[in-house]
Amino acid sequence: MPNHRDRGYALMHKLFLLVFVFSWFWFCLYLWEEWEYSLINLPWNYALVAGAGLIVSTFGTLQNYGSFFIKSGWRRIRESVMKANFQTSLIAFFVFASYFATKDKETSRLFLVFYLSTCWPLLVSSNFALPGLFKRLIGFRSISKRSVILGEATALDGLSNWITRHSSHGFSFAGTFSTCEKAPSTVQLPWLGSYAKLEVFLQKNNIHQLVILPDRNMDDWIPVVTDLASQHGCRVLIYNSLSGFFDSRLVFVEESGRQFFSLQNEPLESPFNQMLKRSFDLCISLPALLFILPLCMVVVKMFQAIQASGPLFFRQERVGLAGKRFVIWKFRSMVHDEAKTRDEAIQASPGDKRVFGFGRFMRRFSIDEVPQFFNVLKGEMSLVGPRPYLAEHDYLFQRDYKAYRIRQFVKPGVTGPAQCRGLRGEFTDPALVRQRIELDFNYVGNWSIWLDFEIVLRTVGQVLFPPKSAC
């Protein structure tokens, strides 16, 4: 979970962008009038809906705000561009939806395009520059408060890299205390002695923060240290020593009045979030089943009759939520196997002779996936989630990738976080398979309705302009 400082930065970022987008609209309108072009009707309407579009977009693009500070310059630029793309797309959607909803024929569409196209580079610049600006104006003032670190000498040595790195980023460490008479050997900070000397040190020095590293004897010294921290007004940070045993970050949870750590954050454990996601699924799957599926059935059946006769649909068992198996529906894109001798676990590859002509077109543009809205309606799948695999593939992935089954904490999706980024098709490269699975893990732990909305928009782009891996 982001700390209060990072959440505060993210909120300030949103407010700045909101003021900027609103103000930029009026500046563009001033330029438009100065250039003596046709005037815009309902200016307040468009200014407000542009702001509404930005508010919606920032919910999905400012997660994990604190991690932006430690990324390389190129990764910052890339992330800033991706954020601006999504923000500008939603602003454009809201603006033109308002344009058509109000049947406004007097407003110049050229002005709206001018406004939106000039917003994009400015949003890119703002997304890139604001975190650094906040850090310079606010951040170092808050992290320059003097701190001391207490723990066993070996534990302090284990954190020496972290201490050095954060010292170079502006943290002010006065030194270290150990819980015994032994000094750490690799920490590049003054050793201030045993924690028994802490009280005298706090009396003579202005210390704002104590970082505590628990050890096996912590019952003897942690109560003493925390009492001293309270007496001298020091903030206490307790290092989670269990985190070194796990690959994933531990998440704090509370169950039946007791406090625990979990290995995975699960936003979809919330009944409200489950209801919200299910509503989103039905809002899109029901219209798709009523208006898109029947037309697709007619067209697909016609081409199947011409090129490869056989059943309209292809059904296959896949693994879903909590490892439960279900039957997935697709339009048949391969030549019908009447003798049932074909191994369905063998994935289609480019130029696969099993795929008939129009089937290849369907697979490239994901038309064969349309019947899966029926699985969504039944509740076996969601619109967005990790893609469901065959049980044979599931077994292989579980064997080769640790914690693979975490992706089964949520329903499988018609589209997913990997597919919307072009990572689809045959499993040929282990590195790309690992990337798919990691994206699925990230989705499970960071789900939000705005993330689903973003993945759907990205998927539309992938359908219209499919990657080379689509086959």
| 385 pLDDT above the threshold of 60 | yes
Q: What confidence score (pLDDT) does residue 293 get?
A: 95
Cβ atoms < 10 Å from Cβ of 304? 22
Q: Give residue-wise pLDDT tens across range 226-239.
A: 888 888 888 888 88
Nearest 5 degrees, angle CA 155-CA 156-CA 159?
90
3-state helix, strand, coil in the chain (%, to 5): 60, 10, 30
Residue 387: pLDDT band with limits 50, 70, 90: very high
Residue 79: pLDDT band with limits 50, 70, 90: confident
In three-state secondary structure terms, 331 is: strand
Rounded to two decimals, what is the model's pTM? 0.63
Radius of gyration of the chain (CA): 28
Q: Give residue-wise pLDDT tens across range 314-331.
A: 999 999 988 899 999 999
Dihedrals phi, psi of 115, to nearest 5 degrees: -60, -45
- The H or E element containing residue 373 is helix 372-378
The top-scoring range by mean pLDDT among 119-128, 140-149, 260-269 is 119-128
Q: What confidence score (pLDDT) does residue 142 get?
A: 46
| 170 pLDDT above the threshold of 60 | no
Calculate the dihedral angle through the C-alpha atoms of 412, 416, 417, 420, rounding to the nearest 10 degrees: 170
Instruction: Quote the CATH superfamily of domain 146-239.
Output: Methylglyoxal synthase-like domain (3.40.50.1380)
- The H or E element containing residue 210 is strand 209-212
Across the range 2-7, mean pLDDT stands at 62
User: How far does Cα 11 stand from its chain's mean position?
Assistant: 17
**Is 289 or 391 the better-scoring residue by pLDDT?**
289
Q: What confidence score (pLDDT) does residue 379 get?
A: 94
Across the range 20-47, mean pLDDT stands at 79
| 2 pLDDT above the threshold of 60 | no
Q: Are 58 and 17 in contact (CB under 8 A)?
A: yes
Q: Give residue-wise pLDDT tens across range 433-459.
A: 888 888 898 898 889 888 999 899 989
| 169 pLDDT above the threshold of 60 | no
| 260 pLDDT above the threshold of 70 | yes
Q: Give residue-wise pLDDT tens across range 272-306.
A: 889 999 999 999 999 999 999 999 999 999 999 99
CA-wise closest residue to 21 among 60, 59, 49: 49
For 256-401, list the strands marked E by DSSP.
258-262, 313-319, 325-331, 382-384
Residue 374: pLDDT band with limits 50, 70, 90: very high
Cβ atoms < 10 Å from Cβ of 11? 13
For 33, the token pair is: 């009038």
Q: What is the percentage of the chain residues whose pLDDT exceeds 70? A: 85
Domains of the chain: which residue ranges? 4-142, 146-239, 269-336+348-464
Q: Give residue-wise pLDDT tens across range 395-438.
A: 777 777 767 788 888 999 999 998 888 777 666 677 888 888 88
The CA distance from 374 to 289, in Å, is: 7
Q: What confidence score (pLDDT) does residue 72 get?
A: 66
| 52 pLDDT above the threshold of 90 | no
